């Protein structure tokens, strides 16, 4: 029977993040972020290089993985039918000077550079990542985007450089992390798991996506591989099983980035949508790390094993990433078959790692298949956050079009203020992009409705000083409204949140639940409000089918007031561009093609943002979005390139 210890040992920003840590036996594991005493003899005989080498199987474009992909400006033509106004030229990555908490906003100006002190800040995962289907062409991972971290990196977690000082990780890998990838401090998930995994302990870790967990399991596994000094490419040392091919590609890309100074070690993929025979030839030619999806992996292994199965007979590490999703998607039988093809767990001393956002009975069952009997359980999710969606009333508000979203949001806020009063009304509004966050902030800041509390905005495009100031002021406020993106709001704790408004669909069910978990904490009451368009109705119907919603009619009476304010803003181009980039990732579930995406975006710009004309996008932006030649877009010349921001902190990132 597992025993839990809740200790507030991690400090993120100004709050303590408790870690729930347990063993599957009766011994309690005490959480500690101090470095362990375990050491190994330094392996300095590795062949190293100072720059990445392009592999003919997997290409890593480090520079591309860091640069924000979409930038654009304004335009002049395609009139909306009323007198035009000059379009703003700010980019979505610029610091727009959002007022601090309690200040009323107005027209935006200024400039500035994107702030890159998060581990990774990219657009959401694009489900249309180009793949080679049915050909022998190797996959190009340079096109793969590792999604953004959704937490802030605290400055009091251990630094990766400490692992080299204590001789725990080969200095070449630490150099890659600190010098090439510019990761300084660990994320809380990494700090809680890496030291334990470096001791070759089997671990079941409860961790959400976007917390740096990919690096948390890759780093110890790569260290094990290097420590054994096997001939590179002859035997597979690490097998990672992922629920989706997109996630598998992201993991493979991060593994390549960690191995860029030791290019003799190869990473291969086993995923659907590619030619199986060509894929197998690449694996057999040279493979040290294999990342794959269950169906394709079992295709390679077969009923009686095969050449790929033989390469797995010296396996050092098995990782099941997002184990709950693997099981929810019906892969249990495939996982059992794959594990039967691996060397015996006890005799081979193979290390097992399971990472899962939720720990249900079926996850514990698969843990006993892949892990040793005395595995350790480490939860990095604050106590009380997990089951918020089961006890918080949640209201579903469906508006006709995207142009009605702002009015529907204002109507929902006014209804809550009227029902419960403004004195203790403290709400967080989640929006999908920084540009939309600023748009909602501007609208709410300039509305003069009685009882509407002060409004502030929080996202990664603001300077660190502004984020810190806003965070502290909102945390200490009795009432107020914070408009935020997932990147900033995740990992932060604000006391007294009475309402969470989600304006638009999140990336997945987990993100929805995590957002909702900002309210009703520590036994307090709270309410959730999910505001979507009719086009997005698939999300609560299918993705959130286990959640009970109370349907609430949309109040759009604020539409005229919203448009009156929106017409005076100069951020139409920035908001339009961010909207396009976000919803391009959801074209398949929305049932859209590129022409429909652009048509909806233009309608949103004209009727929802109050733009006098469809904003212009830079030519390079259109190309990066994969929208070249789509009718309805207005394309202009590229602007001069902006400078780069400061180095990032931490490692990993994305939906891991």
Note the pLDDT tens digit of each residue in 399-426: 999 999 999 999 999 999 999 999 989 9
Which residue's structure tokens are 């929810």?
Answer: 328
pLDDT at 598: 98
Residue 612 forms part of a structural domain: yes
Q: What confidence tens digit (pLDDT) does each residue in 594-612 have? A: 999 999 999 999 999 999 9
Claim to verify: residue 334 and residue 355 sit in the same structural domain:
yes
Q: Give yes or no for residue 508 having a pLDDT over 80.
A: yes
User: Which of 379, 399, 421 is the last residue before a domain boundary?
Assistant: 379
Which range, of 55-59, 84-88, 146-150, 153-157, averages the lowest pLDDT? 55-59
Claim to verify: residue 366 and residue 479 sit in the same structural domain:
no
Across all residues in the chain, what is the average pLDDT? 77
Write out the residue range of the structural domain in which residue 619 sits.
570-636
pLDDT at 486: 81
Q: What confidence tens digit (pLDDT) does each residue in 306-327 have? A: 899 999 999 999 999 988 888 8
Strands 426-430, 499-503: pairing is parallel
Claim to verify: residue 533 and residue 479 sit in the same structural domain:
yes
Tell me how far apart the alpha carbons of residues 509 and 227 are, in angstroms, rounded to a whole number: 39
Answer with the residue of higher pLDDT: 560 or 464.
Answer: 560
pLDDT at 105: 42
Residue 117 forms part of a structural domain: no
pLDDT at 156: 67
Answer with the residue of higher pLDDT: 552 or 54.
Answer: 552
Which tokens hold the place of 225? 């591989």
User: Which of 332, 348, 379 is the last residue before a domain boundary?
Assistant: 379
In percent, how much of the chain has pLDDT > 90?
51
Q: Give yes or no for residue 142 having a pLDDT over 70.
A: no
Claim to verify: residue 513 and residue 417 sit in the same structural domain:
yes
C-alpha pair distances (Å), 184 with each of 18, 33, 118, 651 = 22, 15, 11, 8
What count of other Cβ atoms lies within 10 Å of the Cβ of residue 113? 16
Q: What confidence tens digit (pLDDT) does each residue in 248-269 have? A: 988 999 999 999 999 999 999 9
Claim to verify: residue 418 and residue 277 sit in the same structural domain:
no
Claim to verify: residue 451 and residue 578 sit in the same structural domain:
no
Q: What confidence tens digit (pLDDT) does each residue in 470-494 have? A: 988 998 999 999 999 986 554 467 8
Claim to verify: residue 218 and residue 254 sit in the same structural domain:
yes
Q: What is the mean pLDDT of residues 508-537?
A: 87
Mean pLDDT highest for which of 26-30, 270-274, 631-635?
631-635
Which range, of 214-228, 312-326, 538-552, 637-651, averages the lowest pLDDT? 637-651
Q: What is the mean pLDDT of residues 224-240?
A: 93
pLDDT at 145: 52
Q: What is the mean pLDDT of residues 61-83?
A: 34
In percent, how much of the chain has pLDDT > 70?
70
Claim to verify: residue 307 and residue 420 sit in the same structural domain:
no
pLDDT at 28: 32
Q: What confidence tens digit (pLDDT) does each residue in 352-400 have? A: 999 987 777 778 878 888 999 899 999 887 665 556 677 789 999 999 9
pLDDT at 376: 93
Claim to verify: residue 363 and residue 393 sit in the same structural domain:
no
Q: Give yes or no for residue 21 having a pLDDT over 90.
A: no
Q: What is the mean pLDDT of residues 485-510?
A: 82
Claim to verify: residue 316 and residue 356 sit in the same structural domain:
yes
Domain tally for the chain?
Answer: 3
Residue 445 forms part of a structural domain: yes
Which range, of 17-26, 518-527, 568-577, averages the lowest pLDDT? 17-26
Claim to verify: residue 302 and residue 283 sit in the same structural domain:
yes
pLDDT at 138: 52
CB neighbour list of residue 424: distance below 8 Å, 6 or more residues apart: 478, 479, 496, 498
Rg (CA), the chain: 25
Residue of 1, 41, 43, 7 whose CA lies nearest to 23? 1
pLDDT at 326: 87
pLDDT at 146: 55
Helix axes 434-446, 559-566, angle to 10 degrees: 110
pTM over 0.85: no
pLDDT at 518: 84
Q: What confidence tens digit (pLDDT) does each residue in 33-49 have? A: 333 333 333 333 444 33
Can you spell out the DSSP letters for 364-377?
Answer: HHHHHHHS-TT-EE
Q: Give yes or no for residue 14 having a pLDDT over 80.
A: no
Quick one: which H or E segment has residue 269? strand 267-270
Q: Give yes or no for residue 650 having a pLDDT over 70.
A: no
CATH number at residue 180: 3.40.50.300
Tell me how far apart the alpha carbons of residues 388 and 499 are, in angstroms, rounded to a whole number: 13
Residue 508 forms part of a structural domain: yes
Can you spell out the DSSP letters for 140-154?
Answer: -GGGPPPPPP-S---
Q: What confidence tens digit (pLDDT) does each residue in 151-168 have? A: 455 556 889 999 988 789
Residue 42 forms part of a structural domain: no
Tell me how far apart the alpha carbons of residues 517 and 509 are, in angstroms, rounded to a whole number: 12
Q: What is the mean pLDDT of residues 573-580?
A: 96
Residue of 74, 116, 68, 69 whose CA lies nearest to 574? 74
Q: Is 206 helix (H, G, I), strand (E, B) or coil?
A: strand
pLDDT at 406: 98
pLDDT at 230: 81
Residue 326 forms part of a structural domain: yes
Residue 99 forms part of a structural domain: no
Claim to verify: residue 347 and residue 422 sit in the same structural domain:
no
């Amino acid at each position: 029977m597992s025993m839990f210890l809740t200790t507030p040992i991690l400090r993120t920003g100004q709050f303590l993040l408790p870690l729930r840590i347990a063993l599957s036996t009766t011994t309690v594991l005490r959480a500690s972020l101090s470095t362990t005493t375990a050491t190994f003899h330094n392996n300095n005989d590795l062949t190293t290089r100072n720059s990445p080498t392009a592999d003919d199987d997997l290409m890593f474009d480090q520079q591309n993985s860091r640069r924000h992909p979409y930038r654009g400006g304004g335009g002049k033509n395609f009139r909306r039918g009323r007198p035009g106004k000059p379009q703003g030229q700010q980019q979505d990555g610029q610091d727009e000077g959002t007022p601090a908490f309690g200040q009323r906003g107005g027209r935006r100006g200024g400039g500035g550079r994107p702030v890159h002190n998060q581990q990774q800040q990219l657009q959401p995962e694009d489900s249309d990542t180009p793949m080679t289907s049915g050909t022998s062409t190797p996959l190009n991972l340079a096109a793969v985007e590792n999604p953004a971290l959704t937490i802030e990196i605290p400055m009091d977690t251990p630094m990766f450089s400490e692992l080299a000082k204590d001789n725990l990780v080969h200095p070449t890998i630490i150099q890659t992390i600190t010098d090439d990838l510019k990761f300084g401090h660990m994320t809380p998930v990494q700090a809680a798991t890496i030291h334990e995994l470096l001791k070759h302990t089997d671990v079941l870790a409860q961790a959400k996506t976007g917390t740096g967990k990919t690096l948390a399991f890759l780093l110890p596994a790569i260290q094990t591989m290097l420590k054994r000094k096997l001939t590179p490419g002859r035997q597979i040392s690490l097998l990672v099983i992922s629920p989706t091919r997109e996630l598998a590609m992201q993991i493979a890309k991060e593994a390549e980035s960690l191995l860029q100074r030791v290019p003799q070690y190869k990473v291969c993929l086993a995923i659907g949508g590619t030619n199986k025979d060509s894929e197998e030839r690449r694996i057999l030619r040279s493979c040290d790390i294999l990342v794959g999806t269950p169906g394709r992996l079992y295709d390679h292994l077969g009923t009686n094993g095969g050449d790929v199965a033989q390469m797995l007979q010296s396996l050092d590490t098995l990782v099941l990433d997002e184990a709950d999703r693997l099981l929810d998607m019906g892969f249990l039988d495939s996982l059992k078959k794959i594990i039967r093809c691996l060397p015996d767990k006890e005799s081979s001393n193979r290390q097992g790692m399971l990472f899962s956002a939720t720990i249900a009975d079926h996850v514990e069952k698969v843990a006993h298949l892949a892990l040793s009997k005395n595995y350790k359980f480490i939860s990095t999710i604050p106590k009380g956050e997990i089951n918020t969606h089961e006890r918080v009333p949640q209201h579903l508000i469906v508006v006709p079009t995207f142009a009605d979203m702002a009015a529907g949001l204002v109507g929902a806020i006014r209804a809550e203020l009227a029902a419960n009063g403004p004195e203790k009304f403290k709400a967080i509004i989640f929006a999908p992009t920084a540009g939309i966050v600023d748009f909602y902030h501007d609208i709410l800041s300039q509305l003069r409705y009685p009882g509407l509390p002060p409004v502030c905005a929080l996202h990664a495009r603001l300077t660190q000083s502004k984020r810190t100031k806003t965070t502290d002021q909102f945390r200490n406020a009795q009432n107020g409204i914070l408009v935020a993106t997932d990147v900033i709001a995740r990992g932060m704790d604000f006391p007294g949140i009475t309402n969470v408004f989600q304006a638009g669909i999140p990336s997945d069910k987990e993100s929805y639940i995590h957002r909702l978990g900002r309210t009703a904490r520590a036994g307090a009451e709270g309410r959730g409000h999910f505001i979507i368009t009719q086009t997005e109705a698939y999300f609560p119907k299918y993705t959130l089918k286990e959640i009970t919603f109370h349907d609430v009619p949309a109040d759009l009476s604020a539409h005229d007031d919203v448009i009156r304010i929106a017409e005076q803003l100069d951020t139409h181009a920035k908001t339009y561009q961010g909207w396009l980039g976000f919803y391009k990732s959801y074209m398949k579930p929305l049932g859209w093609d590129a022409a429909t995406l652009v048509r909806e975006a233009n309608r949103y710009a004209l009727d929802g943002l109050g733009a006098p004309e469809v904003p212009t996008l830079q030519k390079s932006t259109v190309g990066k979005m994969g929208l070249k030649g789509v009718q309805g877009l207005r394309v202009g010349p590229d602007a001069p390139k902006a400078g780069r921001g400061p180095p990032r902190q931490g490692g990993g990132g994305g939906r891991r």
